[in-house]
Amino acid sequence: MKTAPYFQGTGRRKTSVARVRLVPGDGNVIVNGKALEDYFGKDSSADLALLPFQVTNQVRRFNAMVKVAGGGHSGQIGAIAHGVARALLQVDPENRPALRKAGLLTRDPRAKERKKPGLKRARKAPQFTKR
């Protein structure tokens, strides 16, 4: 039995990692076994995860199965968008200019800075007393 072709991409943002698999379908997005709206709730920023489909005019052409781990909501949404964009490159390499212009192919390098010794946080120093 032959399986349907699928496209996959890995997206990362902060400490979140998303594994995305695109299969031809009617636009369902399943995240960790739940629908996108159920997983992220009524958060309007969850629509950012679907931005690569809108940029490439491929809304409702693929079902996306996503496994995402680590980080918080914002990082996971960014990781999903990055993974979907990379999977859409496998679908059609001509999507690259549109995805690049929207900034969806660049891995956002911003992450929490590590705590330094002698400081309270990454940069906050203890209060200075003169006497």
pLDDT at 41: 87
Angle value at C-alpha 122, between 116 and 127, nearest 5 degrees: 90
- pTM score: 0.89
Strands 34-35 and 16-24: unpaired
Would you say residue 2 has pLDDT above 60?
no
Residue 68: per-residue pLDDT: 97
Structure confidence at residue 44 (pLDDT): 76
116-119-124 Cα angle (round to 5): 105
How distant, in Å, are the alpha carbons of 22, 60, 103 from that of 4?
10, 17, 30
Give the tokens for residue 28.
Answer: 């369902």
| Res. 89: pLDDT tops 70 | yes
Q: For residue range 13-32, what is the model confidence (pLDDT) as tens digits?
A: 999 999 999 999 999 999 99
| Range list of H helices, the chain | 36-40, 51-55, 73-91, 96-101
What's the rounded Cα separation, in Å, for the pair 81 and 100? 13
Nearest residue to 80 via CA among 64, 58, 101, 62: 64
Q: Which domains does the chain have, with CATH numbers?
A: 7-101 (3.30.230.10)
Tell me the pLDDT tens digit for each residue of 28-81: 999 999 999 999 988 778 889 999 999 999 999 999 999 999 999 999 999 999
Residue 123 has pLDDT above 90, yes or no: yes
In this prediction, residue 3 carries a pLDDT of 61
Strands 62-69 and 29-31, bridge-based pairing = parallel
pLDDT for 1? 46
